[in-house]
Amino acid sequence: MNIVHGHIGWLEVICGPMFSGKSEELIRRMRRSLIARKRVQIFKPAIDNRYSNDEIVSHSDLRIRSQVVRSAEEILDLLEIRTEVVGIDEANFLGAELPEVANHLADMGKQVIIAGLDTDYLGRPFEPIPALLALAEEITKTLAICVQCGGPAKFTQRLVESSDLIVVGAAGLYEARCRRCFEAGSHRQQLLDFVKRPGKGP
Ligand SMILES: [Zn+2]
């Protein structure tokens, strides 16, 4: 549901854990805007060059052209005055300035659609999404499927040992878990179990 009246600015946020389809949903909304012949620009942070430098690519390989930025402010520098819809993916990499920038864009009359993780690997609210949720007209929470039990999953389980807030990657490093199966801060390394298993090996 995207009810946008004329040139009234609007902020919508799509958030959830990894593997919950946030990028797909962002791409879907941007495509609808393109079909409606609106002028769109899509931005993504420079840190996320996993697959492609000038496209947003979802895990299911949907893709759409995007511009790479190193900060939230750079979005304002690259903004074309006639742009009507601004999409921003991987909002977690754009830091504490993003809410102010997003609010400014909406005040200018832009429809702003932002996708990002709402919690970190410890299950804590992950800025700047919480601030963006407070400012948004519309919020969509996406859920993944828990790989342990098949239930609805809202947490991102890290599978490798690191205390860095952000470890770039996807499959193999993280999996989606439900509230019951999520182990906050656990680095239980199913991936690395094979390294030392007593009594086995050549
Ligand atoms: Zn579960």
Instruction: List, for residues 105-158, the tens digit of each pLDDT value.
Output: 999 999 999 999 999 989 999 999 999 999 999 999 999 999 999 999 999 998
Q: Is the pLDDT of residue 53 over 70?
A: no
Q: With left for phi above 0 and alpha for psi between -120 and 50, is residue 186 left, alpha or beta?
A: beta
With cut-offs at 50, 70 and 90, classify the pLDDT of residue 64: confident
Instruction: List, for residues 3-16, the tens digit of each pLDDT value.
Output: 545 568 999 999 99
The per-residue pLDDT for 46 is 85
Residues 6+ apart with CB under 8 A from 54: 65, 66, 67, 68
The per-residue pLDDT for 165 is 66
Q: Is the pLDDT of residue 185 over 80?
A: no
Domain parsing of the chain, residue ranges: 10-142
The per-residue pLDDT for 159 is 86
Burial level of 184, CB count in 10 A (0-12/13-18/19+)? middle
Question: What is the pLDDT averaged over residues 164-188?
Answer: 77
The per-residue pLDDT for 103 is 97
The per-residue pLDDT for 169 is 60
The pLDDT mean for the chain works out to 84
Q: Is the pLDDT of residue 196 over 50?
A: no
Q: Which residues are catalytic?
A: 90
Q: How far apart are CA 70 and CA 145, in angstroms?
A: 32
CATH match of 10-142 with 3.40.50.300: yes
**What 3-state class would DSSP assign to 91?**
helix
Q: Report CA(71)–ligand 1 centroid distance (Å).
A: 35
The per-residue pLDDT for 182 is 95
Q: Report CA(182)–ligand 1 centroid distance (Å).
A: 7
The per-residue pLDDT for 140 is 98
**What 3-state class would DSSP assign to 189?**
coil
Q: Report CA(160)–ligand 1 centroid distance (Å).
A: 19
Which residue, 173, 21, 185, 13, is CA-closest to 86?
13
